[in-house]
Amino acid sequence: MKTKILLSAIATIALLMPSTAMASNHKHRHEARPKARIEHRMHVAHRPAIGTRFSHRPAKGKLIIVNRERMWTANGVLYRMIPTRRGTVYVVAGYLR
């Protein structure tokens, strides 16, 4: 019984394979190319409150290390970088002079 089920599964897979193999060998296939990373810009007219979360990296900033922690600075605001499954979240941690 197990042998018949296994053989029928293999036969089904074998029937589906030639069409997949022919499609993958097509000469004029268009490959999906990854899009270039677009740097997200954030424009804030006022000083954000400490603890405010942003999903985009603030514009015209730079990466610095503070107490062995990677942080991002932009426009006198210090952001803590928190990695998540969906990307990095930027949380306002403080202000620079």
In this predicted structure, what is the pLDDT of residue 27? 55
Q: Is the pLDDT of residue 28 over 90?
A: no
Q: Is the pLDDT of residue 23 over 60?
A: no
The whole-number average pLDDT for the span 51-64 is: 91
Residues 68, 97: Cα–Cα separation, whole Å: 21
Is the separation of the CB atoms in 80 and 94 below 8 Å? Answer: no
pTM given for the model: 0.53
Alpha helices (H) along the chain: 2-24
Residues 82, 91: Cα–Cα separation, whole Å: 8
Q: Is the pLDDT of residue 59 over 60?
A: yes
